[in-house]
Amino acid sequence: LRGLLFTDGVASIPPSLDPAEFWQTSRDLSWWVAGLTVLADWLGSNTDYFPYRTEAMPLAEYWAQAKSQAQKALEAAGVLPGERRAEMSFDELFPAIPSPSPLQAWASSVALAGGPQIHMLEDVTGAGKTEAAVILAHRLMAAGCADGFFIGLPTMATANAMYGRIAHVYASLFAGNASLVLAHGQRNLVEAFAESVIPDGPPDADRQQLDDSATARCAAWLADHNKRALLAPAGVGTIDQALLGVLHSKHQCLRLLGLFRKVLVVDEVHACDAYMQGVLESLLEFHARAGGSAILLSATLPSRMKQALLDAFARGCHVEAPALQVDSLTQYPLVTGWSAAAPKVPLETPLATRPDVRRGFTVRYVSEQSEVIAGIMAALERGKCVCWMRNTVADALDAYSLFKGLVPDEKLILFHARFTLRDRLATEGKVLEYFGKDSTPALRTGCLVIATQVAEQSLDADWDLVVSDLAPIDRLIQRAGRLQRHPRDVEGRRLPNPEDTDQRGQPCLWVFGPPWADEPAANWFKRVFPKAAAVYPHHGQLWITAKALQAGHIAMPGDARRLIEGVFGDEPEIPSGLQANANLAEGEGYADASTAQQNTVKLAIGYERGSIDWWSEAKTPSRLGEPSMNVLLARWEGGQLRPWVSCKHGWAYSSLRVAERLIARSVEPSDAARKAAFAALLENLPNK
């Protein structure tokens, strides 16, 4: 085997390698060797390429045939690194953008070191962080530092939107026909991705590669399962798919192998809670150890979190990270870069931001719900479009019922995550049609959207007035990014030049919160928002946010750093009435971070048989939260149960996640015929 597998140069351990160093290096490598073994096993089990043979043959002869077939199997599976293109300019990659923003110009020209490196990009909403990340990843690939990329986002909805954007540009980064995969639990129900999947067969049967109109393609083997998805040269998905690479989950090593020599891009990093941040830190350590690079994007990233992520990446490079500079606490937008090739000092570069996204808005803090309702109705009567972002689905339903009958049905939209998949996708499409870049006055005028957090990030929608329940300052900044987002005239028509001055008047963010008090009682927030009290459990941070809002005005980007550090800094001033709640919330945060440490695999231990109880994803989740279950909605038609959504994949489109506490069991019908139909349906459903 040694003679067959290894050349002379690698058949012996290099004499210069110290035995202890060899042992540690072997333990490090074992995680990726394990992934390589799984990949070889899965591809080698494909009888289309490795048919069973009954006749005997010499091992050397078989090995020559096996290597030839293996090359064909690898090419058909789509797992080989794509051939990279030479470096292109920003104009070549994004011809539709007239001129790059300061952030995009930086990403196009900054000198790049060799080896593993991390870049943290902070800029206001709408400043073009995605394009900056793509050009930076392209330059790392062109320089030979990476073979591909994976972009991780906080939700399936944001991943779907990002997939649509990346599909039009990713092929420019590769010289050949590289696969672009969408990785999340409902990927096969996204029509654009489903249409991109190339049927199984020899490469010469791939007709889509000859079709100039095809914007994206993906090998069927990669599209078949999320565990394989990260092996694609290019990928977009939920960040969970990458985090599972360092959790005690089945075949986690295959996901790690999928990220090998890729640029890991994580969008909306600030959305990570203590548990997800802990898992992400472990992933960054593993990724850096394998020589990978990372790009982290956020509109609002607290310096404490930024330092922790940098520390984790440097740890993977066997280096102690330097401390971020104090003066960076006041500067925003800001790019923070660090490379193992120059580990002593982080490169912190303050930037300007694009003129059209520099904006100020007034803040109106309101404590009476009746005033909120009156303000919304007055705006609607003036022909404005409004969005009220609430903190829970229950609160959104309550608000929707308040306006039912006051606002025409065709002008009232309810948007939250607890719809069936098809209904949610349809509502999201309607929101983008009515309030997106190309929306018209006829669609926008007098419309009201009652939404939850699904509307606060990566949704390119624009309302004349935004009302928000009190939430932490980073969330409010995100929500304010949907306030007069695109320059329009008085009637709501989009102005042709993005740098034109909006004509709708001074933008105003309304914030609905508890009555302001310098010395709040312990139930200051919970008394007004009993359902949302657990969603944002640190009520001290909410009070500091409310205090900052009393100034009545926010300027972006000038106020961003002060606001973020004021709420999420090391020693915020919490009033005595809320101190007990703050202590409890911080304690739960430490507990969640500890759980992340418990659930993640340990790089230094190595991949050893029997050393880990390989639990299922359900026991080591990629994010903590209330236990939930998948529910299918059905309707009776002629004595038969049909899926709520009548289409191909109807049952999948009729599914939604519901908290387990809300669903004890499904209730069987009392009628005998219907009971029999009910039982027959269960037999035919996946997992019955």
How much is the pTM? 0.90
Give the span between the Cα atoms of 468 and 366, in whole angstroms: 10
Q: What is the per-residue pLDDT for 23?
A: 87
Evaluate whether 285 touches 312 at the Cβ level (below 8 Å).
yes
- The SS3 assignment for 657 reads strand
- Sign of the alpha-carbon dihedral angle for 387, 389, 390, 392: positive
3-state DSSP of 112-123? CCCCCEEEEEEC
Beta bridge partners of 265: 151, 295
Q: What is the per-residue pLDDT for 422?
A: 86
| Measured distance between the N- and C-terminal CA atoms of the chain, rounded to whole angstroms | 47
Q: What is the per-residue pLDDT for 601?
A: 92
Q: How many CB atoms lie within 10 A of CB 147?
A: 19
Q: What is the per-residue pLDDT for 211?
A: 41
Give the span between the Cα atoms of 107 and 102, in whole angstroms: 9
> DSSP letter string over 426-467?
HHHHHHHHHHSTT--HHHHTT-EEEE-GGGSSS----BSEEE
Q: What is the per-residue pLDDT for 82?
A: 83
- Give me the phi and psi of 231, to 5 degrees please: -75, -15
Token couple for 14: 């290099």
Token couple for 672: 């005998």
Q: Which of 367, 365, 364, 384 is nearest to 376 (CA)?
A: 384
Q: What is the per-residue pLDDT for 214?
A: 45
Q: How many CB atoms lie within 10 A of CB 516?
A: 14
Measure CA 459 to chain center.
Answer: 13
pLDDT, averaged per 10 consecutive residues of the chain (688 residues), comes to 76 73 89 95 92 89 92 93 90 91 94 94 87 96 95 88 90 90 85 84 44 68 91 95 92 94 94 93 97 93 91 95 74 91 89 83 96 97 96 96 94 93 88 92 96 84 96 92 91 86 93 96 96 94 96 90 85 90 94 93 86 68 84 90 88 86 84 92 83
Evaluate whether 223 touches 181 at the Cβ level (below 8 Å).
yes
Give the span between the Cα atoms of 202 and 69, in whole angstroms: 12
- The SS3 assignment for 674 reads helix
Token couple for 607: 């991949």
Token couple for 404: 């039912």
Q: What is the per-residue pLDDT for 24?
A: 87
Token couple for 435: 């309030």
Q: What is the per-residue pLDDT for 199?
A: 78
Give the span between the Cα atoms of 354 and 100, in whole angstroms: 9
Q: What is the per-residue pLDDT for 207?
A: 43
Q: Give per-residue burial for 60-94: e unless 16+ CB within 10 Å, then b.
A: eeeeeebeebeeebeebbbbebbebbeebebeebb
Q: What is the per-residue pLDDT for 569?
A: 80
